[in-house]
Every structure is written in structure tokens, then in C-alpha cells.
Amino acid sequence: MIGIIDYGMGNLRSVVMGFARVGAEARIISTPREVATAGKLVLPGVGAFADAIANLRQRGLDAPIVQAIERGRPFLGICLGLQLLFDVSYEDGEHTGLGVLPGKVVRFNFDDLPAASRPSIPHMGWNQVEYTGRVALLDGVPSGSYVYFVHSYYVAPMTDSVTQLTTDYGRRFVSGVARDNLLATQFHPEKSQAVGLRILENFAKM
């Protein structure tokens, strides 16, 4: 069973419907026990990092999520669900994340570019995602495919220990990470039409 984690923030229904469109059973879960027993986990999210990590901790969901990833269960993070995996976010202050992956979450800054050529913030709409090497969850998704983004912050991993998906928006940034059982994307697969549905289908088949 695919468990979509409800911690009070996220586009849960659209993710459920995305899985339904590829014939996969997914349901919303919200307790530590459900997280601990689900066969696969999805951590979606929209909104502010500080509120999200506070909600996870208040509901006792942080430790079961980390343990599930460490034990090799298939895990998909979406948008804020990617950012929460890192050590720290600098969105409206400094906030400690789940610490699954070393690195930080920072805001786009284009002050070094000429005013006329600065991209708008947030980064919103369709853009390409590129990667090298084999990523199981991206089987059938060619590098350079277009996916849907809505965000003002992005992740900056400290090491190359995870495969990095990248996107060009004013400068190249990390738009996703992949490692063994884990894939987490800054873009929204559930809003990325055929490409996104293929990612959800690949995840459901893991």
C-alpha cells in the first residue's frame, strides 16, 4: 500500500488521484503507526518549511519517516517534501530539517544578473529536468522532459552522494535527488501530465 503522509500541509487529493490514474492504490495516512507500517511512502507538501517541520514533529511523524527511509522502503518526496529531507532551511529564518540528506534549502537570488534578465520569483510553470545515469524511478522519462514547478526555494546538497536532477532557471539548480529507494523532486509529478504519471507509475511498481 502507498501511504500519502498528511501532516496538515500538501496537495493530498491530487496525489491520490495521480496514483489512481495509473491504477495504483494509495491512501492518506496521518499517524506514526501508519507511517511505520505502510509499504511505500509519499511526502508531499506546499507552504512554509517552518510550519511543515513543526507539524511533522508535533504529530510524531518525523522519526518514523527517517526510519522508513533508512530501512529501504520506497519513498517519494514532492516539492516541500524534498526540502524537508535536508539538514536546514533558511526560509524566514533558520530551521532544522529531517537530516536525511546533507545540505541546505535556500532562496533563489538573481541580484547578480542584469535587472532586465532576472527570472521572476517564484519559479512557476513548465521547465525541463535533466539528469545523467540510470534512475529507476525515471525509467521512460527522458532527460530534458518538461515538468511543473511552483517554488521560491531550492535544495543545495553538500555532497554528490545522491544523483542530482537539475533544471536551468537563471542558473542551474538541483531539482531533485535520487538514492536507492528514495526519489524526491522539487517539481510536482501529479501536475506534470504524462511525464509525472510515468514517475508515479514507476514508484508504484517498486
Boundaries of every domain in the chain: 2-205
Helix axes 193-205, 12-21, angle to 10 degrees: 80
Q: Over the chain, what is the mean pLDDT? A: 95
- Quote the pTM value: 0.96
What's residue 161's pLDDT?
80
pLDDT computed for residue 183 by the predictor: 95
pLDDT score recorded for residue 164: 87
What is the C-alpha R_g of the chain? 16
Confidence of residue 159 (pLDDT cuts 50, 70, 90): confident
Which tens digits make up the pLDDT trace of 69-99?
Answer: 999 999 999 999 999 999 999 999 999 999 9
CATH topology of domain 2-205: Rossmann fold (3.40.50)
pLDDT for the residue 195: 97
User: What positions carry a catalytic annotation?
Assistant: 79, 188, 190
* CA–CA distances in Å: residue 191 to residues 34, 64, 106, 136, 155: 26, 27, 24, 20, 20
Residue 11: the pLDDT is 79
Tens of pLDDT along 94-152?
Answer: 999 999 999 999 999 999 999 999 999 999 999 999 998 888 889 999 999 999 999 99
What local confidence, expressed as pLDDT, does residue 10 receive? 77
- Decide: 15 and 4 in contact? Cβ < 8 Å: yes
Inter-residue contact 79 to 45 (CB < 8 Å): yes
